[in-house]
A and B are shown apart, each in its own frame.
Chain A
Amino acid sequence: MENGFISPNEIWTPQVIEEIQEKAELGRYRIRGMGRSRRVPSFDDLVVVPAGLTRVPLEGYRERCETRTVLGTRFAQKPIVLDIPVTVAGMSYGALSLSAKKALGIAATTVGTSTTTGDGGMHPDERRASKMLVYQYLPARYGQNPYDMKRADAIEIVVSQGAKPGGGGLLLGHKISAEIAALRDLPEGVDQRSPVRHPDWMGPDDLAIKIEELREITGWQVPIYVKIGASRVYEDVMLAAKAGADVVVVDGMEGGTAASVEIQTEHTGIPTLAAVVEATEALRELGLDDEVQLIISGGIRSGVDAAKALALGATAVSIGTAALLAMGCNDPRYAEDFRSMGTEPYSCHACHTGRCPAGITTQDPLFMERLDVAVASERIANFLYSMALEMQTLARSCGKSNIHHLDETDLRSLTWETSLITGIPLVGQRRNHHAAKTPEKVSSRETLTEGKW
């Protein structure tokens, strides 16, 4: 046989062929969990530039590096005070098992941070487990009631998610058990497609009235967050802040999900790296960067990603997938089960099937039994601590006694692309050769035509 018959094809790759064959079988788009898989510009293309002669680093063991973080200082009488600037993102009971929800709550409480409800409302066990619990106010309003709302430590109005901006929640029939159906007022076993828009408000003017409603219900006590999947971030953040949000949560396109239409996950929205830059710029432009806190999420994997996000202007980061991985998602212990599902440990993204071998994204009692709440919560807490330590390590090396003092000057870009996106100087270039972050910002096009590169 001639060699040409086995040479790799750049257009019709094995992945493309598999995708077409699967869609030919399904008759619809593919759905899957986890989040985006292809490479997009990310925090990996930034490096931290620690102290040298220009700055003095701090002693690791002796000199404190503050991690305390306050959210909701704008209008709320009781802002949220976190020990670390890493929160647990909203993941619904329904998408997750109850044990997983409890483990997240216990872990967040142990390390002194907040966790968040999700599309399925607030479970009493989750409330008990979580010292600081953010209550999501979503388009579907499943299980929503005034009592849970008043029990919450903050309210998060979900406009959209990074994994599927412009798309609604999905929970396939295998996960709509009798209990989940009762909590959501749905027929048991139905494929749940949540609405994309809120039922009773449309645009930013109505959002301002909606925010006032939630403040009135909660007596102006707790912060009101607005969560937006990253798309037109600059404009959206401005509108959310103008509508009266205390905290804006921006979820980049890397954001995780329990179930999403694959093409939405892979091809919509903008990367977290770009999102944090645009969001920060919007708040600065409004002069609200001291009043409105910014939480960034979507593909945050470590204290390093978190430190870089903070340096770019975020007040805190939020994690979803990383917390699931910490508690046992993709654990090679379940290799046999993964194979029976047609996947492998470290490659699973089958959360939508309800057959999670690790007992995390399932409602099947057989799998749920596998998740030990005590062990899982300890592992998540360990991971959150590790993130805080990593952030402190980087901040101290930059001579910062507070991780919130990290800023753009502590970073350099490794690639031209990242430098253009963030305005952070390319390694090997002096800062004043790069105008993007200075007040007299010039557009990328001008920079290029003037030959400054």
Chain B
Amino acid sequence: MDETTLNVVELDLNDLNTQEINASIRTTLRHRPNFLLRNALGQHNIGVGVTNQSSFVVQGDLGHYAFAMCEGIQVRIEGDVGWGVGENLMSGEIFVNGDAGSSAGPSLRGGVVAIAGNAGPRAGIGVKGGTLIIGGDAGYMSGFMMQKGTIIILGNAGPGLGDSMYDGQIFVAGTITELGHDTRINFLNESEYEAIAHLVLPYHMSIPLPSTFRKVVSAGTLHHFDKKEIARWKTAL
């Protein structure tokens, strides 16, 4: 066993309740910032509010809001997650080697949330920065009211993609069931393709990378009310 392995704090989540798990993380964090969380059985609210440089490997599934409101964390979850994984992440990285429920990476502000499998509805809702990567398909209304940042969907996107987005960009490799209101498709240039490759490849999700992506951006028609655009506004207001 090398020194790093010895320094890893192991917690058996089966033995502890949510409060005890998070309290153990908080009290140990400063001195021993590397954790192995074993036997995760879908508990909610694990690892929330961590703002110290730290790393976590989670074996099993986590419930809602896993690692919400964090900064500077490196997380690898070997399982599925419930709703709102990585909510409001400021910086760092959360990799889910499984599927995610609704609202993956809501209000993301920085760093990367990467889901190897599929993500449910409203993935990347209200994203304000950072990158959300979905290896599989993304559900209904993904990227709704996105403000900044990047969403990459390697599979297909459900209806309402990017609805009412203010800004930011969504790249989709597969099919788009239906674009959301006030969006348009832009051509992808080579440097953008390279940037996607750079973001995706560390997660070994899709090799080789799909040869094309479509880039969805805000059409900006809802940025200011215009009575001449009433047909659009009727759906948005």
Contact = CB atoms under 8 A, between A and B. Distances in A.
B35 interface: no
B233 interface: yes
Interface string B207-237: 0000000000000001111010010010011
A219 B27 CA distance: 11
B151 interface: no
Interface in A219-238: 219-220
A28 B45 contact: no
Given A140-B126, A173-B224, A199-B107, A185 B147 contact: yes
Contacts of A330: none
A206 B83 contact: yes
A149 interface: yes
A216 B22 contact: yes
A220 B223 CA distance: 40
B137 interface: no
Task: Give the interface centre of A147, A209, A213 by most chain B CB atoms within 10 Å.
Answer: A213
A191 B18 contact: no
B223 to A, nearest CB: 5
Contacts of A212: 18, 44-45
Given A185-B109, A206-B83, A213-B48, A199 B126 contact: yes
B88 to A, nearest CB: 6
Nearest to A27: B227
Contact of B166 (A141, A145, A190, A216): A190
Contacts of A150: 49
- Chain B: interface size category: 35 or more
Contact of A201 (B83, B148, B223): B83
A187 interface: yes
Given A141-B88, A141-B107, A219-B26, A186 B227 contact: no
B135 interface: no
Contact of A200 (B23, B26, B65, B227): B65
B65 A209 contact: yes
Nearest to B82: A209
Given A140-B126, A199-B126, A216-B18, A191 B68 contact: no
Contacts, number: 113
Interface in B59-104: 63-65, 68-71, 83-84, 87-88, 90, 102-103
A191 B229 CA distance: 15
Contacts of A184: 147
A195 interface: yes
A314 B217 CA distance: 48
Q: Is the interface of A mostly helix, strand, loop or mixed?
A: loop
Nearest to B89: A146
B102 A216 contact: no
A346 B148 CA distance: 41
A405 interface: no
A213 B148 contact: no
A444 interface: no
B148 A191 contact: no
Contact of A145 (B63, B64, B88, B122): B88
A210 B44 CA distance: 9
Contact of B107 (A26, A144, A209): A144
Contacts of A210: 65
B19 interface: yes
Task: Give the interface centre of A28, A199, A209, A220 by most chain B CB atoms within 10 Å.
Answer: A199
B166 A186 contact: yes
Task: Give the interface centre of A146, A173, A193, A220 by most chain B CB atoms within 10 Å.
Answer: A146
Contacts of B84: 199-201
Task: Give the interface centre of B69, B106, B225 by most chain A CB atoms within 10 Å.
Answer: B69
A95 to B, nearest CB: 18
B133 interface: no
B125 interface: yes
A423 B22 CA distance: 47
Interface string A334-373: 0000000000000000000000000000000000000000
Interface string A186-209: 110011010100011100001001
A144 to B, nearest CB: 6
A305 B164 CA distance: 41
A206 B109 CA distance: 23
Contacts of B237: 28-29
Nearest to B234: A28
A217 interface: yes
A417 B233 CA distance: 41
Given A185-B129, A206-B83, A216 B107 contact: no
A216 B83 contact: no
B96 to A, nearest CB: 15
19 contacts: A27-B230, A28-B225, A145-B88, A145-B109, A146-B71, A146-B88, A149-B49, A190-B166, A195-B126, A199-B106, A199-B125, A200-B107, A200-B125, A206-B83, A209-B45, A213-B64, A213-B69, A217-B68, A219-B23
Interface of A: 26-29, 140-141, 144-147, 149-150, 173, 184-187, 190-191, 193, 195, 199-201, 206, 209-210, 212-213, 216-220
Across the A-B interface, the 6 shortest Cβ-Cβ residue pairs = A27-B227, A217-B49, A200-B84, A185-B128, A199-B106, A199-B125
Given A217-B68, A220-B19, 20 more contacts: A28-B233, A141-B88, A144-B107, A146-B71, A146-B90, A149-B69, A191-B224, A193-B236, A195-B126, A199-B84, A200-B65, A201-B84, A206-B64, A209-B44, A209-B63, A212-B44, A213-B45, A213-B65, A216-B18, A216-B45
